[in-house]
Homo-oligomer: A and B are copies of this chain.
């Protein structure tokens, strides 16, 4: 009789239309019928990406698409500038290292956004930097970086700007073309309301020049193969058919609302969640750069974050995320992206109140929910 809520930053809940699409009889991928779907999916992604660049659908998780970005752009011995500041920024460096690419690192304090002028300074100091790797929403800290400002400082340099938008795409604004994001990587299981299993990657003309020159060994993630295939409305290898079919349902839902409405909805849920946790006496982990896709809140001394998350999930059926790496046990993360809406947030906050009370944290019961309601009423 337990009803489960998923308020995690990936996977996010599936809309009924998406679930239904995946359960339809499967079709073969080398058919005119699937070609129509592939075309619709690619065009829908371009709308969400706000781009005229090529966009490819990979059968992989988001990390596979990140690897595709690194190896198609750079070769062993090349230098990249990587913005750290969370687990996923650091992943760019791990991938670069695996391929012998030098990573110059900008260390940003966890919970802060990168200062675009620091990127500018580093690019000026080393004109050999071929790519800047950064993150739209750093899921581990719930920080959103200012990609518009970063785009401005990278645009007129020889470097390409590469954005991990796995968390964030379809939840917060990312003007790929206007802001000059040359390569944008994403995944299916966050803002796009699908199960994990698809990776996405866009490639600008500036980035294609690097792709053609890259000597990194590659096969499955070789974007030259993907480009050659998509010109015939095909994929180089068997696509994840059911997920691509579900993708067009999710994209249609987003297009029906329109991007502006989608972003406004996410902003409102984020405002409500932030107001709620503050009303409960918790401090935001990233007050200066809080993401509209996920909220991280510090836990008071004496409250064990792992136990809190476990109790909410195993006793009450509401799954939020705890902290990762150095933040383990110290923060909670409540997602508000994709197919999560107002009353999911209310349920999540109510459950948080219940368990915080049980764990001995002092606050006025109902104050979190009330603060969220006030935001939603506006």
Chain A: residues with CB nearer than 8 A to chain B? 4, 6, 8, 10-11, 13-14, 19-20, 22-29, 31-32, 59-64, 67, 71, 76, 94-95, 98-100, 187, 189, 195-197, 216-222, 237-243, 313-314, 319, 321
Contact = CB atoms under 8 A, between A and B. Distances in A.
Nearest to A32: B314
B59 A241 contact: no
Given A27-B6, A217-B98, A218-B98, A238 B189 contact: yes
Majority secondary structure, A binding face: loop
Nearest to A18: B23
Contacts of A98: 217-219, 222
A100 B217 contact: yes
Contacts of A321: 28
Nearest to A219: B98
Nearest to A59: B61
B196 A63 contact: no
A31 B217 contact: no
B25 A23 contact: no
Copies of this chain, tallied across the complex: 2
A14 B64 CA distance: 26
A63 B240 CA distance: 12
Identify the 7 closest CB pairs spanning chains A and B, nearest first: A197-B240, A23-B23, A195-B242, A19-B23, A98-B219, A63-B237, A61-B238
B11 A28 contact: yes
A241 B195 contact: yes
Contacts of A25: 4, 6, 13-14, 19
Contacts of A63: 219-220, 237-238
A196 B67 contact: no
Given A19-B24, A31-B313, A196-B240, 6 more contacts: A6-B27, A11-B27, A14-B26, A26-B195, A187-B238, A240-B243
B197 A242 contact: yes
Contact of A20 (B23, B196, B313, B319): B23
20 contacts: A6-B27, A6-B28, A11-B26, A11-B29, A22-B23, A27-B319, A32-B314, A61-B239, A62-B237, A63-B238, A67-B220, A94-B219, A98-B217, A189-B238, A195-B241, A196-B239, A196-B240, A196-B241, A197-B197, A197-B243
